[in-house]
Structures are given as structure tokens and as C-alpha cells.
């Protein structure tokens, strides 16, 4: 993998004492979460709760996936102040974020996610082609590989994972307290490192809600797999964009809900 969970980072978990079902004292690893305030140029945009392992990727990915900056925008600097948990993204030209901030839709993230402006209009324009294929054996291989990868989830729980994959190979594995944060970190990494999305697969441990489908479409990733469930609106949006949506992928089982023409048995 290019990037995978850093389970040895002491800032991501803390030892907490508690009691088990027999009232015996125990010590366990617990995920740290902290606020991260994001500025776009001189405008404060949002404060997010995050494990804060990749604040620069999270900031850029959030702005991209909220349609507050575009892939054509030039980022001149990303400044992170560790002592006050503030990240500032500066662009060459000013954005029209004031207009976008006036029109927002609250979505179903683990924490409160917000989709700004006319982002839903993307679905009037975007429809994935069927040229990218997904072999069924890749679903099994990816699930096994990702499940066996050492992670903060296996160490402490209470966290979601999102993975960018190519064929049957995991490339970038991000975790966070909200799955929307994890996918935003992947989006930011892809943008800053100029990684193409057309031949990629997105895997998540979290449920496939409208928010996750919207982010996947904005990132132009045509195939999404989850070991969790899905919502009706998530399925409807996936079908509208001709995105391959696969949920409940565990062991040798899965449920294919959209984009079935990409899936190959052999």
C-alpha cells in the first residue's frame, strides 16, 4: 500500500481504564478525536471532529467533495497549525463559497455532514460508462486483504475505514471517526498527488448512504464496495449515475444494487 493505518502513532489512541462485565479493572486503547477548524483563504468554513492524522489531505478533500473548490483551482499553500488545530487552504483565485454557504443540505454522516450549494446538479450531468470492469474474485480478495491489514479499528474500534483500490490491490487506506472524513482524506491525497480515478475502486467499512455515493461520484470513482448496508437514496443516486454499488460484502457473499454490467464472473 502507498498509505495504510499507522497503528503505532501515539496521538491516535490513548490508554483508558475501565471495568469488564465481571467488574475487573481493565486497560484498553481508545480512539482520540479532536476538533479541526478549516479555513478557505480568509473564510472559516467548518470545524470537524477527526483523529487528525492527515489534516492537509482532509482539508483539501473536504473542499473538493463539498464542491467549494474544483479540480481546476490552483492551491497555493496549505498551512496547518498543530497547537490550535487549524488548517488553512489558500487558492490562487477566490471561490464563491459565500453563495454556496447559503444553500446547504444536512446529510446522514456519523458526525454532521453538509453538502453545499447545487452539488446535486452533478447527477444531471454525470453518468459513468461501463468500460471499467470488476471481477467478482477481486471483491473477495480486497475484503480479505483489507480485513487482515493492521488497523486502528482492530486495535481500538470506534472508527471507520475507507480504501482506494486498483483491481484487487488496496492502495490508500484511511481511517477516521467518520467515514466521510476517511473518504475526504483519500480525495485530498488523490488531488495533491495527481492520481487518476477512472480505473479505481472505492471500498468502505461504513454504510452506503447518499453522502458516500455523492462523494464517490464527485471523485469520479465508478465502483464502490462496502461490507456494511445501504440506504434507498444511496442506491437511487448510484443508479442515476450508473455507479456500481455493492454492499454487505462479507466472506463469499455480497449484494449488487447498481452498475451490474461492469461485474464479471471470470
What pLDDT was estimated at residue 100? 57
pLDDT at 103 over 60: no
**Angstrom distance (rounded) from CA 143 to CA 136:** 11
Count of positions (residues) in the chain:
266
Give the residue carrying C-alpha cell 444531471.
124
What pLDDT was estimated at residue 66? 87
What pLDDT was estimated at residue 99? 55
Q: Cell digits for 110?
A: 456519523
What angle do the packed helices 179-192 and 210-218 form, to 10 degrees? Answer: 0
Q: Cell digits for 262?
A: 461492469
What pLDDT was estimated at residue 67? 84
Check residue 3 and report its DSSP letter.
B
Contact assessment for residue 45 and residue 65, using Cβ atoms and an 8 Å cutoff: no
Three-state SS for 243? Answer: coil
What angle do the packed helices 210-218 and 55-65 form, to 10 degrees? Answer: 90
Three-state SS for 128? Answer: coil
What pLDDT was estimated at residue 110? 47
Half-sphere exposure of residue 42, counting CA atoms within 13 Å on the CB side? Answer: 2
pTM (2 decimals)?
0.91
What are the tens digits of pLDDT across the range 140-199? Answer: 999 999 999 999 999 999 999 999 999 999 999 999 999 999 999 999 999 999 999 999
User: Domains in the chain, ordered, with CATH?
Assistant: 134-264 (3.40.140.10)
**Angstrom distance (rounded) from CA 225 to CA 242:** 14
What are the tens digits of pLDDT across the range 38-94? Answer: 999 988 889 999 999 999 999 999 999 988 888 889 999 999 999 999 999 999 987
Contact assessment for residue 61 and residue 189, using Cβ atoms and an 8 Å cutoff: yes
* CA 265 to chain CA mean position, Å: 28
Radius of gyration of the chain (CA): 19
**Angstrom distance (rounded) from CA 16 to CA 104:** 38
Amino acid at each position: 500500500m502507498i498509505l495504510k493505518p499507522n497503528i503505532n502513532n501515539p496521538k491516535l489512541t490513548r490508554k483508558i481504564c475501565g471495568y469488564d462485565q465481571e467488574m475487573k479493572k481493565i486497560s484498553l486503547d481508545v480512539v482520540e478525536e479532536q476538533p479541526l477548524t478549516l479555513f478557505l483563504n480568509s473564510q472559516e468554513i467548518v470545524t470537524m471532529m477527526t483523529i487528525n492524522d492527515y489534516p492537509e489531505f482532509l482539508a483539501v478533500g473536504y473542499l473538493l467533495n463539498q464542491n467549494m473548490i474544483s479540480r481546476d483551482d490552483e492551491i497555493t499553500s496549505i498551512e496547518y497549525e498543530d497547537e490550535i488545530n487549524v488548517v488553512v487552504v489558500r487558492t490562487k483565485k477566490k471561490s464563491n463559497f459565500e453563495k454556496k454557504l447559503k444553500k446547504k443540505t444536512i446529510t446522514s454522516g456519523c458526525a454532521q455532514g453538509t453538502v453545499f450549494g447545487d452539488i446535486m446538479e452533478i447527477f444531471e450531468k454525470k453518468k459513468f460508462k461501463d468500460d471499467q470492469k470488476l471481477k467478482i474474485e477481486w471483491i473477495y480478495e480486497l475484503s480479505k486483504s483489507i480485513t487482515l491489514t493492521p488497523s486502528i479499528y482492530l486495535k481500538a474500534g470506534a472508527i471507520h475505514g475507507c480504501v482506494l483500490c486498483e483491481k484487487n490491490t488496496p492502495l490508500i487506506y484511511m481511517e477516521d471517526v467518520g467515514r466521510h472524513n476517511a473518504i475526504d482524506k483519500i480525495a485530498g491525497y488523490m488531488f495533491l498527488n495527481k492520481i487518476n480515478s477512472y480505473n479505481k475502486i472505492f471500498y468502505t467499512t461504513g454504510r452506503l448512504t447518499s453522502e458516500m455515493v455523492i462523494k464517490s461520484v464527485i471523485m469520479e470513482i465508478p465502483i464502490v464496495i462496502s461490507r456494511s448496508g445501504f440506504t434507498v437514496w444511496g442506491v437511487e443516486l448510484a443508479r442515476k449515475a450508473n455507479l456500481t454499488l455493492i454492499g454487505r460484502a462479507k466472506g463469499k457473499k455480497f449484494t449488487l444494487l447498481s452498475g451490474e454490467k461492469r461485474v464479471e464472473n471470470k
